[in-house]
Structures are given as C-alpha cells and as structure tokens.
Amino acid sequence: MNKQPFAGLLERIDPCCVRIPKSYKPGMRVPGLLFVNDKLLEQARKDQALDQVANVAFLPGIVGASIAMPDIHWGYGFCIGGVAATDPAEGGVICPGGIGYDINCGVRLVRTNLKYRQVKNRVRPLIQALFNRVPAGVGKGGAYTFSDKEMQLLLAEGASYVIGRGLGVPRDLGNTEANGRIEDAEPGNVSDHAIKRGKNQCGTLGSGNHFMEVQVVDQVFDEEVSTAFGLEKDQICVMIHSGSRGLGYQVCDDALVTFRNSHVKYGIDLPDRQLACAPADSPEGRRYIGAMRAAANFGFCNRQLLMQQAREVFEEVFGQTWQDLGMELLYDVAHNIAKLEEHSVEGKKKRLWIHRKGATRAFPAGHPELPNHFKKVGQPVIIPGDMGRASWVLVGQPGSMERTFGTTCHGAGRAMSRTAAVAQTGGRKIDKELEAKGIIAMAQSRRGLAEEQPSAYKNVDDVVDVVDGAGLSKKVARMRPLGVIKG
C-alpha cells in the first residue's frame, strides 16, 4: 500500500485547505479539495482515502470539486468525510458509495436543565439504567415492533409517525433536520428483506461507533449563539449517535447489486467499482433515491425512539418528568445522505445532488431551509468526538455555502482501523482506563470498547479547529463525556 500518496502534488490553498489538481489522474473532471491542516494531512496519508477523493472526481456530472473534511479516512467508494455535488441536468449520477451503508446515520443532542453538581454523584446508576433500557449491539432488536403496514407508514412519514403514537412531542420535529421526514420517499422500493431486518430495530443503538453519551458543557465559546441554542456551562446533555440499522444497510446493498452493471448500460468509466452509480434521473437512480429517502426516515424514527427511552430513564433516575427536567431536543442532523439542494455554481443557481458521507450540513443564518428559531444564528452543527475527550456544538457559517455546498465535518474520524485498535489494546481494560478519567463506559463486549478506545480516533479538537478556521462552521460550546453506553 502506498503510504505517502500525492507527495509533491498537493497544492496548499490556505492553512486549512489543500488541492489535488485534476492532472493527478487523467479523467478527473474536477479537482479535489481537502480541508486539513498539516497534522491532519499527515494522518490522512496513512490509508487510501486521498486516492478515493481523486476517484470521486471522475463521477459524471460532478461540479465544483471532490471534497473531503478533516475527519477523512478510508471508506467504501467515497472516503468517510467525503462530499460531492452532481448536476442531474448534466447527467449527474447518484452514488450509494457516496452515502454509505448506514443511510442517515446521524446525531442528536438533547439538553437538560440539570447541572453537573446534581448529576456527578449519580453518573454510574444513570449509565447503568440507560444500559439496561436501551438495546445495543449487533443485530439487537428492541421494545418497539411494527407490522408491515406500520413500517410502510413509518418509512413514508418519518419521525412524525412515531410521535403520533405518543413517542415524543410535535416540537421535536422542528428541531430535526427536514422536520424528521425526507419527502418523496418510496417505501415500496424497499425490499422485503430490508423491511424484515428493520422491523424490530427502530429504537436501538446498534454497534461500532454508535453510542448514547451523557455529557457536561465545559466551555462556551460564543455566548450569543449558545444562549440561542439553550446551552450554558455545567449543563448536562445527552448525545445520541445511530442510523438506519439493518434496514439502511440492506437498501444500500440492494442498490449496489442493481448498479453493478450500470457503468456498461450508461457508458460510465470509473477507476473504482465501489463507485457504482447511475444517472440520478434514470429508472435505477430514481428507484434507489426513493428507497434511500425511506431508509433516512427510518433513521430519524430510530433516533426519536432512542431519545424517548433516554427521557424515560432520566424520569426514573431523577424522579421528575422529562418536561420538568427540560429534556428538549436541541437538534438532530444526518451525516450519511444525499439531498437535492439549490446551490450557486459559477454564479448560477442549480439543483444538485449533494452526497454527504460522514459529513453534515452547516447552513448559515438566513438559509431558507432552517426553521425560524435558527434563522437568526444559523444551524446547530453537532460533532461527536471519542469516549475519552470531548464533543462539540458549532453553528453553520456562510463559508460553507461558498466552499463546501453547505457542509462541514461529522466527527473526529478514525486514526486506526478497528483491527489495529484491538491489537493495540492487548490486555488493557478500556473501561477501567476511562473510569480513572471520571468516565463510566458500558458496552456489550470488551472488544467493542477496544475498537472504540480514544486513541483509535483523531483529536476532535484538531478537526474542529480546521472547520472553524476554514469558515465552514463556528465553535459554540464544548462538552466532555461523563458516561457512555455502546454496543
């Protein structure tokens, strides 16, 4: 494996961005843009992610640049942290590898009116209660099950469907991206196998990097915006990271089978078969888009039900209703999705398919898609870190619209593979190491904790410094972990 790709080829534009020129590979339609400082660039060179950025530049209809965020690392087709805009009016494609297997994997942040002093001596029983209540782990089912007919409604209506069953309140929708529903979903395009896999997985965490974490705000960087978001120092929050589980995985898998020979049918020449795609306006493209939107709606429902369970646990532990505890949803944002959005390209407004894989929207103040209560300050951006350091809330900035199609990073980004992380652990006990730092971690397996140990990730503070410095999103508040549950 080439450990130092692009040596001498990268062009530094500014301290936070470098360019891969189109001349790197014959056939690149646009350059690559990497939002990284020198430290993160050296980390990115350790795998093939930079080459993946160049490969994405071959996609038919791509405009602007093939973009990567500072949490870049190797993925399927696109790198994690990859962003690409394709123009359907110019034969632009839809690419499942640019969305990922876990469609609408995303994160939501729930604030409370609890302060650290009220919680610090009850963290262990709180985390234990969450661990006992919230299903986590590979293939794990949960307390909520849906009939075939109910699944069709859930996939079409998104979070409003489960809220209509008393599992949340209508105001939750106003604090969820797209009001918790991607329109024009086509549940009929979702295979029976995918439906079967998802039937009892709504309201479950899954495994890998998914988690539910109790956090405390330890620093505020922008008083005006933090006040608008309802955040203050020493406040307790709950962060939830999960996606569309087995259903979304199967939707992606089904599409990749369908797209396997699309390159022949549509005369698409690509350097990597993992970038299998089809014109967005083709029958195959439209069918996948309808199924992808349905899976995204499942993801919104999943996080809504996870939040509902967290609210119930807090009620039991603290002896108050979740409303009295102030457990309000700050925001929920997707980071594995493609959406048709209006953007300016060379001075012209165009409707583009924005692929975000391990990347999240960062719309600035005044953007028409923002709910009224965020229009003045901008969209909340939620960036989880690792179990041992920190997570962040930022706010979208105008630079994101100018440079990255309204996009910023989605997390810290892996610094080593899961296999390497486990090998590095040896006989260490990660839960004990975290406990020594004042963090209670509970997981279904020791291997799961080993895969997700803090050193397996880049320092999220470094990643956030880049998107802040590049003008994509601005620092608002930093949270440190108190306790976490994982699969």
DSSP 57-100: TTSTTEEEEEEEEEEEE--SSSPEEEEEEE-GGGT-EE-GGGT-
Share of the chain above pLDDT 70, in %: 98
410 carries an active-site annotation: yes
Share of the chain above pLDDT 90, in %: 93
Q: In terms of Cα–Cα distance, which of 20, 123, 117, 139 is closest to 68?
A: 20
Q: Provide the CATH number for the domain around residue 115.
A: 3.90.1860.10
Task: Give residue-wise pLDDT tens across range 47-81.
Answer: 999 999 999 999 999 999 999 999 999 999 999 99
Q: Please name the amino acid found at residue 230.
A: G
- pLDDT of 20 over the 90 cut: yes
**pLDDT, mean of residues 230-251:** 98
For residue 4, being part of any structural domain is answered with no
Residue 5 lies in a domain: no
Kindly tell me if the per-residue pLDDT of 306 is higher than 50: yes
Which tens digits make up the pLDDT trace of 154-197?
Answer: 999 999 999 999 999 999 999 999 999 999 999 999 999 999 99
Average pLDDT of the residues of the chain: 96
Residue 100 inside a domain? The answer is no
d(CA 155, CA 424): 41
Type and span of the H or E element at 116:
helix 116-119
Measure Cα distances from 344 to 311, 401, 404 in Å: 41, 8, 11
Q: Is 411 helix (H, G, I), strand (E, B) or coil?
A: coil
**Could you give the CA distance from residue 165 to residue 148 in angstroms, rounded to a whole number?**
16
DSSP helix/strand/coil, 260: helix
Q: What is the pLDDT of residue 5?
A: 59
Mean pLDDT over 142-147 rounds to 92
The verdict on residue 1 lying in a domain is no
Whether 346 is in a domain gets the answer: yes
Torsion angle in degrees (nearest 10) through CA of 204, 206, 210, 214: 40
Whether residue 485 contacts residue 443, with contact meaning beta carbons closer than 8 Å, is answered with yes
Overall number of domains in the chain: 1
Q: What is the pLDDT of residues 336-348, one digit of tens each?
A: 999 999 999 999 9
pLDDT > 50? residue 3? no
* pLDDT tops 90 at residue 481: yes
pLDDT tens digits for range 421-460: 999 888 899 999 999 999 999 998 888 899 999 999 999 9
Neighbouring C-alpha atoms within 13 Å toward the C-beta of 192 = 0
- DSSP H helical segments within 136-244, as ranges? 148-157, 159-163, 192-198, 223-229
Look at residue 338 and tell me if it is in a domain: yes
Cα 259 to Cα 284: distance, rounded to the nearest angstrom:
7
186 found inside a domain? yes
Q: Are 28 and 58 in contact (CB under 8 A)?
A: yes
pLDDT at 445: 86
Q: Give the mean model confidence (pLDDT) for residues 86-90.
A: 98
Query: 98 lies in a domain?
Result: no
CA-based radius of gyration for the chain: 21
Mean pLDDT, range 320-331, rounded to an integer: 98
At 197, the amino acid letter reads R
Residue 7's pLDDT band (cuts 50, 70, 90): low
CB within 8 Å of 387: residues ≥ 6 apart: 211, 213, 434, 439, 441, 452, 453, 454, 481, 484, 486
Q: What is the pLDDT of residue 2?
A: 44
Report DSSP state, residue 379. Answer: -
- How far the first Cα of the chain sits from its last, in Å, is 32
| Catalytic residue selected from 73, 355, 367, 410 | 410
pLDDT in the model for residue 6: 65
Quote the pLDDT of residue 97: 98
Q: Which domain holds residue 437?
A: 11-90+106-486
Distance from C-alpha of 348 to C-alpha of 258, rounded to nearest angstrom:
34
| 385 vs 211: CA distance, rounded Å | 11
Q: List all residues 6 or more positions away from 398 whose beta carbon is below 8 Å from its beta carbon.
A: 364, 471
Q: How do strand 440-443 and strand 473-486 relate by DSSP bridges?
A: parallel
Average pLDDT of span 37-50: 94
Residue with tokens 């918790």, as numbered in its chain: 180
